[in-house]
Amino acid sequence: KEEFISAVEEMLDRNPEEAATILHDPKYHNILESSGWELVPRLSAYLTDYNRLENVQLYKSTVDLLLEIAKVANPEDILFEFIEQAEKQINIDRFIVVMKAVKIVLFRLPQRRGLAIGWFCNALIRFLTEISTAQTAKLEGDEQLLLENDVHFQFIENLYLEIIDFFTPFLEEVEHGEYTVSEKHIVIYRDTIQKTLLKLFGHPFMKIYLGRGKPNSTFRSIAEKILNFVFRFGDDLMSFLDCVNVSEVDNTTVDREYDNSSLGVFYYLILVEGIYIEKIPYVYSSIYLLRQLLFLTTSLMKEDDFNAQWKGLMLAENALSRIGDKELIFEEAGHIQCKDFAEQCSKIMIYSESKKNREKAVPIFHKFLRIFDPRGRFYMLLSLQDTVKEPGFVGYLATRTKDFVAESLYSKNFEELKYFTGKCLRDLIKKFCRLEDGCETDLVRNSDLIISSLNLLRYLIIRDTENFTGFLELLPFLDNNYLSPLKKAIQMSRAHYELQKKEINQPSNTGGVKTSTSVSVGGMELPNLSSEQKFQIIDGALNMFDLIDSLLSRLIECIHDHKTL
């Protein structure tokens, strides 16, 4: 046995073109059949990037040897050895060779293939989840099309093409119902293949641009082929919504039967990109679709990748478009996924480095709030202020509150008035109208919230002259806890920034030498900027204080006018 292994390795080193011939030597036939599996790790070590580029013939001969061993060695022994190789941290080219060998061995084991294919499928998904896509994270849409010329992405592209080739003959069995696997394993055989195909839409596929921007995009073509494979099982494509993971337990993609991110991409391709949309039955409740799809969109939006987030946003937009204003009753909403979705969408609105994603998230979130009944709107507005602390976002919620109050006053609908007048409205206003640090609150950082809250108060005092909303009962509280402290905060902030302005590059008292003055705006110290740049930033802050002061003064006038009526 050792003589045989040494002979193969010696032939590879000395004359790689003829190395495969040694496998046909009759004197090694029995050894090859019984111990051929021992060659697999030894030969696999030759499958390096260096040999692929610098020792082309050696690399090619090694591949030929491994595939030949897959054809003649004991199939059960060799299968486990190849799967063990697949589970190691290897490069994409080496994995492709192993996958081709596994395919050969599986066809030699028809009675065990129903179970054995699952062992390799687990290794395949695990390998995919570990592929690096760091270079895609900050690229958007058409920018990513350029990556199809990147060497690393060409490897990924080739891997997916080989995966399609791997599954093609097995799909022929599924489609025609003519199985060579053991009858007792047919169900698990079908399920394993189908679930693996769906998981192929997860990492790294979810982070790759799959839109219509480039008609001949290979990745788009691959997506369509995998969808076709799933369709060939004959199942209702929407039935996989029942498989959405609603558990908060964070299992790995490999361990879960179905993965939310990959299902999200699957339904993105169908519902947003329109692939096989004509095969979708229109029998599902729009509320059911929304509930299930929100889990999927949230999973995608949690990814730190522009393209994955975009797919989540677009799928959310599609799901929300099926629901009319106030159609979603709060009790039917499914609190967990709605709250989680709202938090993730708001994070993209606020923090995403992608302008495209930020701008897309705003109308989606607006639509999301509007689909709730009045009770749902109220509780979403109330709870989000406690979970998303960013002042700009809370200011956005104050503006939406003003819109909902206006709607309730116009419609005179009892349910709307119940949640956007009286105590409920006062509870919301108290959340919006607060200075966390009193007079020392950073007005620059909180400017959006302050402006939105002042506009809300001004609207109420002008619109609700008869105190139908019960808002006037809050005036003493607001005056003591918000308006008066805000007036003082403006004075203090203005004085502080005026002083900083005077100190910028002011000559020192001793030598007439200019000194560098540290300037902070919005709680952050400015970098080393020129005096002119610092002046511009400080003037911007002072203008903001003037705007807030103007709004506050106008509000105080309106309150005074109302009291004198």
Tokens of 469: 């909303």
Tens digit of each residue's pLDDT (9 = 90 or more) over 238-296: 999 999 887 754 555 655 778 999 999 999 999 999 999 998 888 889 999 999 999 99
Same domain, 91 and 120: no
Same domain, 21 and 131: no
Same domain, 166 and 95: no
Tens digit of each residue's pLDDT (9 = 90 or more) over 509-563: 545 444 555 566 655 666 667 778 888 889 999 999 999 999 999 999 999 888 7
Distance CA 359, CA 286 (A): 25
Q: Is 166 part of a structural domain of the chain?
A: yes
Tens digit of each residue's pLDDT (9 = 90 or more) over 164-195: 999 999 999 988 888 888 889 999 999 999 99
Q: Tell me what pLDDT residue 211 has.
A: 82
Cis peptide before 204 (omega within 30 of 0): yes
Write down which residue in 340, 372, 404 finishes a domain.
Answer: 372
Same domain, 232 and 141: yes
Q: Are 462 and 472 in contact (CB under 8 A)?
A: no
What is the b/e burial string over 80-110, where b = at least 16 CB atoms within 10 angstroms of the residue's CB? ebbbebbbeebebbbbbbbbbbbbbbbebbe
Q: Is 7 part of a structural domain of the chain?
A: yes
Q: Tell me what pLDDT residue 92 has.
A: 93
Tokens of 107: 């066809």
Same domain, 229 and 309: no
Write down which residue in 311, 346, 372 finishes a domain.
Answer: 372
Q: Tell me what pLDDT residue 34 has.
A: 80
Q: Tell me what pLDDT residue 216 has.
A: 72
What is the b/e burial string over 288-306, where b = at least 16 CB atoms within 10 angstroms of the residue's CB? ebbbbbbbbbbbbbbbebb
Tokens of 367: 């639509």
Q: Give kind and range of the element (H or E) at residue 466.
A: none
- Domain carrying residue 341: 284-372
Same domain, 89 and 122: no
pLDDT mean over 62-80 = 91
List helix spans (H) across 278-390.
286-301, 306-320, 335-351, 355-370, 374-387
Q: Give kind and range of the element (H or E) at residue 174.
A: helix 151-176
Q: Tell me what pLDDT residue 254 has.
A: 58
Q: Is 502 part of a structural domain of the chain?
A: yes
Identify the bridge partners of residue 525 per DSSP, sorted by sequence position: 520
For the ranges 18-22, 399-403, 435-439, 535-539, the maximum mean pLDDT occurs at 399-403
Give the count of domains, the chain: 4
Tens digit of each residue's pLDDT (9 = 90 or more) over 467-481: 899 999 999 999 999
Same domain, 233 and 116: yes
Distance CA 171, CA 190 (A): 9
Q: Tell me what pLDDT residue 249 has.
A: 47
State the sign of the Cα–Cα–Cα–Cα dihedral 134, 139, 140, 144: negative
Identify the bridge partners of residue 372 per DSSP, sorted by sequence position: 328
Same domain, 223 and 289: no
Q: Are 233 and 169 in contact (CB under 8 A)?
A: no
Same domain, 88 and 190: no
| 219: nearest Cα among 231, 229, 207 | 207
Is a pLDDT exceeding 50 seen at residue 47? yes
Name, in order, each residue with C-beta under 8 angstroms of 227's C-beta and a sequence gap of 6 or more.
266, 269, 270, 275, 276
Tens digit of each residue's pLDDT (9 = 90 or more) over 419-460: 999 999 999 999 999 998 899 999 999 999 999 999 999 999
Q: Is 151 part of a structural domain of the chain?
A: yes
Distance CA 554, CA 274 (A): 52
Q: Is 138 part of a structural domain of the chain?
A: yes
Q: Tell me what pLDDT residue 401 has.
A: 97
Q: Tell me what pLDDT residue 510 has.
A: 47
pLDDT mean over 495-499 = 90
At residue 450, φ and ψ (nearest 5 deg) are -65, -45
Q: Is 437 part of a structural domain of the chain?
A: no
Same domain, 105 and 223: no
Same domain, 200 and 134: yes
Please give the residue that has the higher pLDDT: either 198 or 213.
198
Q: What is the DSSP letter of 63?
A: H
The pLDDT mean for the chain works out to 88
Q: What is the DSSP letter of 269?
A: I
Identify the bridge partners of residue 520 per DSSP, sorted by sequence position: 525
The C-alpha angle with vertex 496 and arms to 493 and 500, in degrees rounded to 5, equals 135
Chain centre to alpha carbon of residue 321: 20
Please give the residue that has the higher pLDDT: either 97 or 535.
97
Q: How confident is the model at residue 318 (pLDDT cuts 50, 70, 90)?
A: very high
Same domain, 66 and 124: no
Tens digit of each residue's pLDDT (9 = 90 or more) over 355-397: 999 999 999 999 999 999 999 999 999 999 888 989 999 999 9
Q: Is 512 part of a structural domain of the chain?
A: yes
The C-alpha angle with vertex 71 and arms to 96 and 129, in degrees rounded to 5, equals 25
Q: Give 450-465 as a 3 state SS string.
A: HHHHHHHHHHHHHHCC
Distance CA 268, CA 237 (A): 12
Q: How confident is the model at residue 324 (pLDDT cuts 50, 70, 90)?
A: very high
Q: Is 521 part of a structural domain of the chain?
A: yes
| 483: nearest Cα among 543, 439, 425 | 439
Q: How confident is the model at residue 50 (pLDDT cuts 50, 70, 90)?
A: very high
Write down which residue in 372, 405, 432 finishes a domain.
Answer: 372
